Amino acid sequence: MNLAALSTTWAPRLLSVLRIMAGLLFLEHGTQKLLGFPARMGGGPMPDLLSLPGIAGSLELVGGALIVLGLFTRPVAFLLSGQMAVAYFLAHAPKSPFPALNGGDAAILFCFVFLYFAAAGAGPWSLDARRHGRI
């Protein structure tokens, strides 16, 4: 088995798989905030769309869907990476310097995964690839 050939064949595809899964998980945060599905933590009401949680939920919902589809991946991923950095420093870091204790480990991971997508693109299984004639 030639690992270099295997890597060349599967690395781009696994980039697409990572993008789709990260997008679905991110999208779920948006549906939870804005649509109450799955149920909101604490069961509170839907936030006002012009509030910080409402804007965050809108970015998560729309941005997550665009990431899943692989459409406008680089600019959307860059925007979402910034959103996660802001979310970490506003909501998580003040609680504790340790991400495992302040609940910010997902925000950090999303931040850097989205930053990677901003640099690497969407991969071959995406609408971006189709728009640019790579499929």
Span 112-116, average pLDDT: 98
> Radius of gyration of the chain from Cα atoms?
16
**Residue 57 buriedness (CB in 10 A; 0-12 / 13-18 / 19+):** buried
The pair of structure tokens assigned to 37 is: 């599905």
Worst-scoring range by mean pLDDT, 13-17, 96-100, 130-134? Answer: 130-134
- Stretch 72-95: mean pLDDT: 98
Percentage of residues of the chain with pLDDT beyond 70: 98
The whole-angstrom separation of Cα 78 and Cα 76 is: 5
Give the pLDDT score at 100: 95
DSSP single-letter state for residue 49: T
Burial class (CB in 10 A: 0-12, 13-18, 19+), 127: middle
Q: What is the pLDDT of residue 135?
A: 67
Domain boundaries, the chain: 12-131
**Omega within 30 of 0 (cis) for the link into 45:** no
Contacts of 65 (CB under 8 A, 6+ apart): 23, 27
Q: What residue type is assigned to position 100 of the chain?
A: A
Q: Tell me the percentage of the chain whose pLDDT exceeds 90.
A: 84
Task: Tell me what the pLDDT averaged over the chain comes to.
Answer: 94
* Amino acid letter, residue 72: F
Distance CA 135, CA 131 (A): 9
pLDDT digits (tens, 9 = 90+) for 33-53: 999 999 877 778 889 999 999
pTM: 0.93
